[in-house]
Chains A and B, each alone.
Chain A
């Protein structure tokens, strides 16, 4: 990233909302919300299940499109430019390709970015950050849920993105492991200057991040609050 880019916000949302049709009636998953994410931000986003956290993350990552409002990525470009590369997403559900090994899964974003040199080395390095080098040759179905989540995190950071969005990244690990994972992620973000946006139920995890957003019945509050779980 250059200085000009750094001076721009990564994501700017103005009255962004998202509604779905469900059983013939409209459901507002995200009520009009305004927010901004800058380089280096570390944001925890909390809320009950079904409060709209994941939907908001998908909107910010460019995977989903808002029903109304303006959503832009001033420092990153258009929606088509976001993935792979500038924004990386770690999904809540298992998202490793079952027919690729752990190493190949982690190296996949690099292949999608067209990186030709030392993909495996970089992937091993990313796995190493989470202590998973030994699993490089395994298939996703041979991993535990927690291992798969950490592999997915390694895949998220391998391409050196500007913003990492993670949906419940420690949902399937014990607290100690979860804390260690978050330490690793934050250290990596500090070193790379990337922003983090993490949805979590875990107050301890949320407390590790300087900014806290709250989602409640689709409404976003960007002021720091204690989590209401």
Chain B
């Protein structure tokens, strides 16, 4: 009996069951794929955070401490893969004598043990020479005007001067970490690294500063730098943070009184876990509507066969079948659909994982997601088929079960105006979130607990559901009260049949409105996902551009300025624009800051000048102000506070002239700059390059920014070939910047998720617009057969189908795209913390949306044309089949 029932189902309802299986498979595959993606992205964020740390642990020995005991304690507290000694000595000043004497202020001499450079690879950028002997920091080399081969003098503290021979010049990008004060309380103001420093092999350092350690132990610090065994750490940033922090506390307890710990790895993971939480929220809120849509689609597909099931059930009841038999038959259909959908979904998820993520979903954690998703699919099938059957059997009479038009009473949500309530709630939540500055993810520094203000996401969720319900309400209203209007609109197509067509639609308004709403939700999902992703990718590019400077950046030095190659660089194939800028150093009081000399009228041609870079939020106005006043300078907020500056104040900055001496040059404070391409995160100055060149009498432009209109990698390679003979010149591209950004969330490649979600979104649009419409129309094959038997010609049957198809598609597309754009705008606002800097406007991916619309249109057309094939089928045969 059971086999016969299943056989009959497959024979007569194969298409519909296939549709339901497809719906469940889509839901299962999306759920599983999102899980696998979250697993992968968490691991990659942890990995990226870990590899961005120049030194995992810096353990500073208290004078007199037993180095061997501390070393043993470190190894006991954590799995250490490498440990090397680093020693620091205060230096009163550096001096270099040529025909004149160049001297600097106080600085540091850093001694690094054997193998340090091989074990701690991050943070060193050798500009020229080698690491064989004394290596000067870039700024120190510039101050002394010294280079490889020169002998410089170190003014030791309490000891006679010493000479060292320079073998190289380095850009120490990890200076903040290496020279940090260890053991300061959490939250203390970070200490600026020294302006001047020399790096020495440890043996040479010991020979130079061994005596200073005896005479002035307060001027000497010794640290043990450790790399932990990263393979022992969890893939989850939060778990890894908890592990590393715990190990750090363990060490602190072991070495209390003899050493202090700077847990750099813990601090980086601390930042990464906040980003990871944002990422999880991001995946959740980009993926959840897709999953909800998959469920709704499955319910709609199965619901489109509900009339048939109800009638079959009525027949079974009429013949005396007990409730258990009826429910068993429904369960068989549900299991057939659920198991088929789950199996297909798992296969689809594995395929998608391989295609979009490049690896299998069948790992231990991934298998869990796959199994959970498959189970969800089976439960979904049971909920979609078994539950309604049970309800029908319990609540409807046999006569009611055989009815096809069904209840005309308004559903509860309509009576209660749930749609309006949800939309108002969405507005209120958004207003509240906006009032708190969109602080939705809280990861207090140093505190293990992180939290997300999930209530903020009620805004897009309520908007999504409310808009879906409102779409249903409006569609029903139009089909019911707007019959005259629709009849007038379709009169050119339907002629004298416009009345029956609109009457028929009005009686099926709930089903048609459901189709419109589902299509609208599918379009809203596609639209909001695409807009968010495009905005995200665009902003990630701005973020990378902020770090790198431009698509491709050629960085030289004052001695070897990249600007000298400007015409050649501008002429490279694939270069759309090239701008040379100055990168100098200027003293603001005693504080040495980076100074960028630009041409405010043209800099925007080579790199993005975002409004968010400037405190007034207006890049164009700020740059125009700079262009108007040659002496204008933009400084950081911190500088303004430190020096109590007011707009128009004169600031005397000391810049190096051709004599390598610093000279005071008057600038006028014209505005506050927060971020700028290539600039560091701390204080810096932006000024007019021409003015800087004129006042310092040095016209070199150290950096060239290239905007490309061709392949970035090709342009980078060409630029590298062009400048390969210039000493210390670096060529970098946006791709390099992505790695430099480290754990910043926009560095997470959403490409896999994007491909996954956008692909699903298009399938959902096709499914909602096409499949649901097709199944709805298939339900009315009998009506079409009757019409054909009455003598309706193909052209007369067409309006019945086209009008419904057009209403579902056009209504769904228009309302869905409007809703999607609104949701994306809210999501971008709510997830403002993801972006650095926040986007000024949302980016609309017209090509993708065009594709989604085209796919929806094609799906609708196929459904309609398929329905119209009914006319060609012998109506008698069809009527017999459907009796």
Contacts and interface: CB of A to CB of B under 8 A. Distances in A.
Nearest to A120: B499
B499 A63 contact: no
B8 interface: no
Contact of B874 (A64, A110, A141): A64
Point out which of B404, B504, B789, B883 has the most chain A C-beta atoms below 10 A from its C-beta: B789
B503 A93 contact: no
Contacts of B405: 98-99, 139, 141
Q: How large is the interface on A (under 10, 10 to 19, 20 to 34, 35 or more residues)?
A: 20 to 34
Contacts of A96: 786
Contact of B789 (A91, A104, A141): A91
B interface: dominant SS: helix
A104 B875 CA distance: 21
Contact of B500 (A58, A85, A111): A111
Contacts of A99: 404-405, 503-504, 507-508, 780, 783
A97 B789 contact: no
Sorting the interface of chain B by its residue count into under 10, 10 to 19, 20 to 34 or 35 or more gives 20 to 34
Residue in B496, B497, B499 whose Cβ sees the most chain A Cβ within 10 Å: B496
B531 to A, nearest CB: 38
Contact of A100 (B504, B789, B791): B504
Contact of A97 (B402, B495, B787): B787
A146 interface: no
Contacts of B504: 97, 99-100
B288 to A, nearest CB: 36
Contact of A93 (B497, B499, B883): B883
Contacts of B499: 104, 111, 119
Contact of A112 (B402, B403, B404, B796): B796
Contacts of A104: 499-500, 503
Contacts of A111: 496-497, 499-500
A98 to B, nearest CB: 4
Nearest to B785: A95
Interface in A99-123: 99-101, 104, 107-116, 119
A85 B507 contact: no
A114 B496 contact: yes
A114 B498 CA distance: 11
A40 interface: no
A86 to B, nearest CB: 9
Interface in A67-111: 82-85, 89, 91, 93, 95-101, 104, 107-111
A82 B792 CA distance: 11
A39 to B, nearest CB: 20
Contact of B879 (A84, A91, A115): A91
Given A109-B790, A112-B796, A115-B496, A64 B876 contact: yes
Nearest to B783: A97
Nearest to B497: A111
A139 B792 CA distance: 21
A82 B791 contact: yes
A209 to B, nearest CB: 24
A119 B495 CA distance: 14
Contacts of A113: 496
A141 to B, nearest CB: 5
Interface string B298-329: 00000000000000000000000000000000
A98 B404 contact: yes
A107 B504 CA distance: 13
Contacts of B496: 110-116, 119
A100 B507 contact: yes
Contacts of B503: 99-101, 104
Interface string B868-879: 000000111001
A108 B790 contact: yes
A113 B497 CA distance: 9
B783 A83 contact: no
Given A97-B504, A108-B500, A116-B496, A63 B403 contact: no
A17 B508 CA distance: 42
B778 to A, nearest CB: 15
Contacts of B796: 112
Nearest to A84: B791
A39 B879 CA distance: 29
Nearest to B404: A98
Nearest to A87: B791
A124 to B, nearest CB: 15
Contacts of B783: 97-99
A93 B879 contact: yes
Contacts of B787: 97, 108, 112
Contacts of B789: 63, 83, 89, 91, 95
A64 B790 CA distance: 13
A99 B403 CA distance: 11
Interface string B477-516: 0000000000000000001110110011001100000000
Nearest to A108: B500
A107 B879 CA distance: 21
A100 B497 CA distance: 12
Contacts of B402: 141
Contacts of A139: 405, 507
Interface string A47-65: 0000000000010000110
A112 B497 CA distance: 7
30 contacts: A63-B789, A63-B874, A63-B875, A64-B874, A64-B876, A82-B791, A83-B790, A91-B879, A95-B879, A97-B504, A97-B783, A97-B786, A98-B404, A99-B404, A99-B504, A99-B508, A101-B503, A104-B500, A104-B503, A109-B791, A110-B496, A111-B499, A111-B500, A112-B787, A112-B791, A114-B495, A114-B496, A119-B499, A139-B405, A141-B404
Given A99-B508, A112-B791, A114-B495, 10 more contacts: A84-B792, A85-B791, A93-B879, A97-B787, A100-B500, A108-B500, A109-B790, A112-B792, A119-B496, A141-B404
Interface of A: 58, 63-64, 82-85, 89, 91, 93, 95-101, 104, 107-116, 119, 139, 141, 155
